[in-house]
Chains A and B, each alone.
Chain A
Amino acid sequence: MSMLRLLQFKRHSVLPGFGLTLGVTVLYLSLVVLIPLSALFLKTATITWSQFWSTVTDPRAIASYRLTFGTAFVGASVNAVFGFVVAWTLVRYRFPGRRILDAAVDLPFALPTAVSGIALTALYAKTGWIGHWFDARGIQTAFSPLGVAIAQTFIGLPFVVRTLQPAIQDLDAGMEEAAHTLGAGSFQTFRRVILPFLFPALLTGASMAFARALGEYGSVVFISGNMPMRTEISSLLIVAKLEQYDYAGATSIAIVLLLASFALMLSINLLQWWFTNAGDGR
């Protein structure tokens, strides 16, 4: 295995167990993650290019990307705005219930996606507390693209808040002070000093929320209604193809989705690098 050659022992240490622990790590990683994932790419090799291309550019597939990426973008944008307010409030102000709110931000991580899915659907369906209100105004929430965006907003929220919180904590009091002393108003200080400083963290958090929303399945499938061409997300299209035993088709769509999330992960890592190098070496 070429991995082992990469992982050559460099420095001697008095501590024992290097061979054993590294061996267990590489073996388990290969068996559980690397070999299964490579099966996906090997499967692609059995599909001809024209077959792959016609699957991934099929109108139903294109409609699913448009929906998934579009609503994920809406969700990430909503989270960027409200997540910012939430993070700012939680870090900078003291008010009753702050600790509970802070802990609750992680709820979308902790709540199983199927549970959030049915809860959101019950809430936003025509008979639900919120859906009822929208329905009276002629807006359909559940079983429409808006419903997909709502679910994707729900699961993306913690990413923005948790990425912004440490950055807001790091805001240099002196910097703000200086801006004020020089006569900048609150809004100017915010726009010229605070926002540029927090921007990398905001963008990182929003990208993470976007990436998570792209692949999200459980919380979306219940509220979306799953109508092909209209409210069918890409993950669901993979499942639909699998249910028809169209392994090649499912794999093709999966590759598109996987490459998109790898590209995003790479950009997030670059962003984080920028982030850590932008704020005075921290």
Chain B
Amino acid sequence: MEIANRMGNREPRWLRILLIAIAVLFLGVFLFLPLVTVFMEAFRKGAGAYFASFSDPAARAAILLTLISAGIAVPCNLVFGVAASWAIAKFEFKGKNILITLIDLPFAVSPVISGLIYVLLFGMQGWFGPWLAAHHLQIIFAVPGIVLATIFVTFPFVARELIPLMQAQDTDEEQAAISLGASGFQTFWRVTLPNVKWALLYGVILCNARAMGEYGAVSVVSGHIRGKTNTMPLHVEILYNEYNFVAAFSVASLLALLALATLAAKTVLERRVKAGSPGGHVAEEQLA
């Protein structure tokens, strides 16, 4: 901190002020204005119109579906993330790096393609399409497809937070617990989990934010059936395309509040994760 201040003083004062002004202006225009716009547009016709947007049954159905799909996707990826990080961090095996790369794969796939792959598998003309139709099962243009696409796009979040942290911690405490007679599950619950709880929560929060906000992948598999297969972001799209801007931005404002809560939680947790990790591990950003 102190070095940063001292070094910062090397640039002439006018240059520092200029750089700060550019940064503030750029972030102001590119980040704050869009955020402010969401709330301005939502309240354009007053609080009454704002709250009326949520009494629409289609809006309620969209909120419910978003909660359901995130409610399934997040726990699935949480269990997977814990299992993957246990296997990867606590044991040595061949192909570990390949496995880590494969876990990150969904981040490299664009949202539309993430939806497309499920259409190719389960759509009417897809590999399992005829079989599913014969058994009167529907995945694409139905809730299961939405859940699958959501799981895919949020797949790496928890694992990505846990793996580097657990790799940085040694296994001495776990080994002691096992040698004292604790079961594997007890060891995980009582020893490992307390060491990684903040990183775990951090991963879950990011996973949840993406699960609730995903648009591209979900829009490909949803079919946009109002009141049935619309999640909140899809409902926002439909309202917007119908020029029902107040309602669109009202639903969008809920998602924006979720984003703000996520950022706040992220900022707090980042400090905890940094403080609680050996060697000052820095929680990695959710990149690519």
Q: B-contacting residues of A (Cβ < 8 Å)?
A: 3, 6-11, 13-18, 20-22, 24-26, 28-29, 32-37, 39-40, 42-43, 82, 85-86, 88-95, 97, 99, 101, 103-120, 122-123, 128-130, 153-154, 157-159, 162-163, 166, 169, 171, 173, 176, 180, 186, 208, 211-212, 214-218, 222, 235-236, 238-239, 242, 245, 247, 250-251, 254, 257-258, 261-262, 265, 268
Contacts and interface: CB of A to CB of B under 8 A. Distances in A.
B84 A25 contact: yes
A217 B111 contact: yes
Q: Return the 10 tightest CB-CB contacts between A and B, nearest first.
A: A215-B110, A112-B213, A16-B184, A217-B216, A6-B95, A218-B215, A110-B259, A114-B233, A119-B34, A21-B87
Nearest to A24: B83
B61 interface: no
A238 B93 contact: no
Looking at chain B's contact residues, the main secondary structure is helix
Contact of A113 (B98, B109, B116, B215): B215
B43 interface: no
Interface residues of B, number: 111
B259 A112 contact: yes
Looking at chain A's contact residues, the main secondary structure is helix
Given A10-B93, A22-B87, A15 B174 contact: yes
Most chain A CB within 10 A, of B22, B245, B249, B259, is at: B259
Interface of B: 3-8, 10-12, 15-16, 19-20, 22-24, 26-27, 29-35, 37-38, 41, 76, 79-80, 83-84, 86-88, 90-96, 98-99, 102-103, 105-106, 108-113, 116-121, 123, 125-127, 148, 151-152, 155, 171, 174-175, 178-179, 183-184, 187-188, 209, 212-216, 219-220, 232-234, 236-237, 240, 245, 248-249, 252, 255-256, 258-260, 262-264, 266-267, 282, 285-288
Contacts, number: 324
B94 A216 contact: no
B213 A22 contact: no
Given A8-B93, A114-B252, A211-B108, A92 B27 contact: no
B83 to A, nearest CB: 4
A236 B102 CA distance: 26
A112 B152 contact: no
Contact of B80 (A20, A28, A158, A247): A28
A158 B215 CA distance: 19
A16 B178 contact: yes
Given A37-B105, A93-B19, 13 more contacts: A16-B187, A93-B20, A99-B267, A104-B263, A115-B252, A154-B34, A157-B30, A159-B288, A208-B288, A217-B215, A238-B112, A251-B120, A268-B288
A110 B287 contact: no
B26 A85 contact: yes
A115 B38 contact: yes
A114 B215 contact: yes
